[in-house]
Structure 1
Amino acid sequence: MSRPRPRTAGRERPTNLAVLMREAFIALNDLVLTRLAERGHGDVRAAHGAVFQYLDETGTTVSELADRAQITKQAMAELVIHLESRGYLVREPDPRDRRAKLVRPTDRGREVVAIAQDLVPDLEERIAAALGAERVEALREDLETVRRIARS
């Protein structure tokens, strides 16, 4: 899907590395969302990745999910409520802290994670076919370096 570029001073803004990395992520994520829709999970949206990506199988609090996803607790709670109402998640008391609730995937939620993870080898093969194995390995190393630099 083509997305219009923002404009500043009447011209399209230049595309920097961060924008290119985000746009590549969005393109790959769109493939995952298409696969999910094909398998009966059309109500899962891109924003829900912030939940599924950071959710532990044994359960995770909304606060921890929000911290991991770097979004507000309120925003994460809204995502959890949406997914819970559609049968992807349940909230249960945390046995270690009676005040807290753990968010856990249901069978339907685990299916979403499995579908997304099953697509990873196909996506990586497609990228390797386009770039070549050596460039993919270099890309992986470069992205790790970028992540390390950004955290320091």
Structure 2
Amino acid sequence: MSRSGADLALLLLEGFRSLVDAAVDELARRGYEDVRPVHDFAMRAIAAGADNASELGRRMSVSKQAAAKTIAVLQERGYVTRDTDPLDARRKRIQVTDLGFDVLRQGEAVFDELRDRWERQIGAAELESLEAHLSALVGTSAIRFDTPGWMARDLGEPA
């Protein structure tokens, strides 16, 4: 059975979505009903040094306003804090809280469980082969956190 390039892209996207949807559902069962994929991307970017709305927006390829809204939601839910910068009292720095890091760890554990489920479905050798092939195709560059902005980017085309 030969598939088109578009079919391959959609199949890869659906694989990603099925894992993410299952992870969101499992996190909700574990008491994190309010966590969405964009929150994971944002917290990881913040933990990696995006300590203000402008920098978070750049790293996620979203507007500063969109980043600020995400920060406000994460702060309201206790996943991040906004504290005064010790070097510049006019500046507020964002940091992931212990609760935020707990959500990230729980999410990683859930994805490990989902990987184990896929391994049981297709076998360890097949899954390792799939991962090796995907790694060869996408390369070894660092994982990017700009997926939310990338997915919603404006290409300057009429709607």
Regarding TM over 0.5, the answer is yes
Structure 2 alignment gaps of length 5 or more: 142-159
Greater mean deviation of Cα atoms: 98-107 or 131-140:
98-107
Which TM-score applies when normalising by structure 1? 0.73
Q: In the alignment, is residue 133 of structure 1 matched against residue 121 of structure 2?
A: no
Higher relative contact order (CA 8 A, sep 6+): 2
Superimposed CA distance per residue, residues 53-72 of structure 1 (whole angstroms, 9 cap, x where no aligned partner): 32317763333333333333
Q: Quote the offset at 1:86 in angstroms.
A: 1.6
Match of 1:47 among 32, 38, 41: 38
Q: How many residues align?
A: 138
Whole-angstrom CA distance in 2 between matches of 1:70 and 1:16: 26
Match of 1:79 in 2: 70
CA RMSD of aligned residues (A): 2.9
Structure 1 alignment gaps of length 5 or more: 1-13
Which TM-score applies when normalising by structure 2? 0.70
> Contact between 2:84 and 2:93, CA under 8 Å: does it hold in 1?
yes
Q: Quote the offset at 1:111 in angstroms.
A: 1.8
- Identity between Structure 1 and Structure 2 (%): 32
- SS in structure 1 opposite 2:46? coil
Whole-angstrom CA distance in 2 between matches of 1:96 and 1:136: 48
Greater mean deviation of Cα atoms: 89-98 or 120-129:
89-98
For 2:106, give the aligned amino acid: I
> Contact between 2:40 and 2:104, CA under 8 Å: does it hold in 1?
no
Match of 1:121 among 112, 134, 154: 112
- SS in structure 2 opposite 1:91? strand
Match of 2:18 in 1: 27
Match of 2:135 in 1: 144
- SS in structure 1 opposite 2:139? helix
Whole-angstrom CA distance in 1 between matches of 2:137 and 2:121: 22
- SS in structure 2 opposite 1:103? strand
Q: Quote the offset at 1:99 in angstroms.
A: 5.7
Match of 1:7 in 2: none
